[in-house]
Amino acid sequence: MKRRQRGVALIMAVLIVALATMLAAEVGFRGYLDQRRTVNTFSLDQAFEIAMGGEAWASDALRRDKMQGGNKTDDFTEEWATPIPPIPLEDVGGEFEGQLEDLQGRFNLNDLVTFDESGQSTINQQAVERFQRLLTLLEIEPKWAGYIADWIDSDNNPGFPDGAEDPVYTNLSPPYRTANMAITRASELLALPEFGAERYRKLAPFVTALPPGTHVNLCTAAPELLDAMIGDNREFTLGRETGKQTRAQRCFPSQSEFEASLTPDRKQELENMLGESSDYFLATIWVTLGTQRFTLYSLLYRSGGANQVRPILRSYGTL
């Protein structure tokens, strides 16, 4: 009888030790997770503050550039166009880097539609055709120009032959409706049915979402956009390398050089749409702290008269 009792006691002792071990492991694991969460949260807060400092740095560079009275163009020879290389952050064990991009060197998607004072919209057919030529140069189906115009315009009448309005979007899962207003960021293209991430990655470097009527800076415009504005010519696309070498020295093409390649009709179409300077820039800041990587995208607006630069749109992690 005593032997049986000793056996039960041994089993109970083993169970207690096992339960104690499991409890200790659980407490230790939860403590480790809490510690990692605290470190990650603190690193994220630090990275955000460092990124905001980077944004201020970029704004100051744009402000100094504007205050140089003799310089009336914005091109790739200027300080703002040089990316900030990785800078070690010795105190916190990480690094910081960033770059500025001229958004007026891209196609403005909001130019596809014009709105009057009452909010009624009209498709800008000339802009749609320019965008179709750009899509063709990028080997993307030109039909998407009509889809994007329908996404922005205020009516519910799909364009012909290419377009889509609420009946198409409400049949998706999950259902949603068209914006029916000017877009605020180019990533809204991902809302188009079956547009997909692959097309977006190909098109994103060439498009932006700015106030309608914002002029194109010829000094920084992509060769594909320059050719799309000219027409069926591929002068700048084929001469990409030569143009890149020239742009390392000066604004190219200048407005006079570009207008010399336009037909009279095309010149009239692009009247008041061309320039050699910019007010809208995209600052991209990357901050790495340990295993954490934080990205800040900041749309900066530089006002001409007051020499002020202010952020008007920020996003984190994704553009």
Instruction: Tell whether 24 and 97 lie within a shared domain.
Output: yes
Instruction: Tell whether 82 and 122 lie within a shared domain.
Output: no
Instruction: Tell whether 293 and 309 lie within a shared domain.
Output: yes
* Cα dihedral sign, 133-136-142-145: negative
- Nearest to residue 204, comparing CAs of 218, 219, 224, 229? 224
Cis preceding linkage at 167, omega within 30: no
pTM of the model: 0.86
Asked if residue 205 is part of any domain, the answer here is no
Asked if residue 311 is part of any domain, the answer here is yes
Instruction: Tell whether 112 and 162 lie within a shared domain.
Output: yes
What is the structure's pLDDT at 248? 94
Asked if residue 207 is part of any domain, the answer here is no
Instruction: Tell whether 98 and 115 lie within a shared domain.
Output: no
Evaluate whether 298 touches 99 at the Cβ level (below 8 Å): no
Tens of pLDDT along the chain (319 residues) come to 555 566 677 777 778 887 878 888 877 777 767 666 666 777 888 889 999 999 999 999 999 988 876 568 999 999 999 998 999 988 778 899 999 999 999 999 999 999 888 878 899 999 999 999 999 999 999 999 999 999 999 988 888 888 899 999 999 999 999 999 999 999 999 999 999 999 999 999 999 999 999 999 999 999 999 999 998 788 999 999 999 999 999 999 999 999 998 999 999 999 999 999 999 999 999 999 887 889 999 999 998 666 789 999 999 875 5
Distance (Å, whole) CA 319 – CA 316: 7
Asked if residue 245 is part of any domain, the answer here is yes
Where would I find the beta strands (DSSP E) of 168-215? 207-208
Distance (Å, whole) CA 283 – CA 272: 27
Asked if residue 131 is part of any domain, the answer here is yes
CATH code, domain with 124: 1.10.40.60
Instruction: Tell whether 312 and 221 lie within a shared domain.
Output: no
Asked if residue 248 is part of any domain, the answer here is yes
Evaluate whether 152 touches 159 at the Cβ level (below 8 Å): no
CB atoms within 10 A of CB 264: 7
Range 266-294 burial, b when 16+ CB lie within 10 A, else e: beebbeebbbbbbbbbbbbbbbbbeebeb
Residue at a domain's end among 200, 224, 257: 200
Asked if residue 206 is part of any domain, the answer here is no
Instruction: Tell whether 173 and 145 lie within a shared domain.
Output: yes
Q: Would you call 115 helix, strand, or coil by DSSP?
A: strand
Name the domain count of the chain: 3
Cis preceding linkage at 174, omega within 30: yes
Distance (Å, whole) CA 185 – CA 188: 6
- Nearest to residue 127, comparing CAs of 141, 147, 143, 107? 107
Tokens 């060769």 -> residue:
223
Instruction: Tell whether 20 and 98 lie within a shared domain.
Output: yes
Instruction: Tell whether 133 and 98 lie within a shared domain.
Output: no
What is the structure's pLDDT at 35? 65
Asked if residue 229 is part of any domain, the answer here is yes
Instruction: Tell whether 60 and 111 lie within a shared domain.
Output: no
What is the structure's pLDDT at 264? 92
Instruction: Tell whether 79 and 149 lie within a shared domain.
Output: no
- Nearest to residue 43, comparing CAs of 208, 288, 263? 288
Tokens 């807060």 -> residue:
45
Residue at a domain's end among 155, 170, 200: 200
What is the structure's pLDDT at 25? 81
Reported as half-sphere exposure (CB side, CA atoms, 13 A), residue 40 has a value of: 9
What is the structure's pLDDT at 118? 82
* Cα dihedral sign, 33-34-40-43: negative
What is the structure's pLDDT at 306? 61
- The boundaries of the domain holding residue 220 are 216-273
Range 95-113 burial, b when 16+ CB lie within 10 A, else e: bbebbbbbbbbbbbbbbbb
Packing angle of the helix pair 125-137, 144-152 (nearest 10 deg): 140
Distance (Å, whole) CA 65 – CA 219: 15
Instruction: Tell whether 122 and 90 lie within a shared domain.
Output: no
CATH code, domain with 83: 3.30.1300.30
Evaluate whether 310 touches 300 at the Cβ level (below 8 Å): yes
Residues 6 or more apart whose CB falls under 8 angstroms from that of 224 comprise 134, 137, 138, 206, 236, 237
Q: Which structure tokens are listed for 31?
A: 């403590």
- Nearest to residue 112, comparing CAs of 154, 138, 150, 140? 150
What amino acid occupies position 232?
D
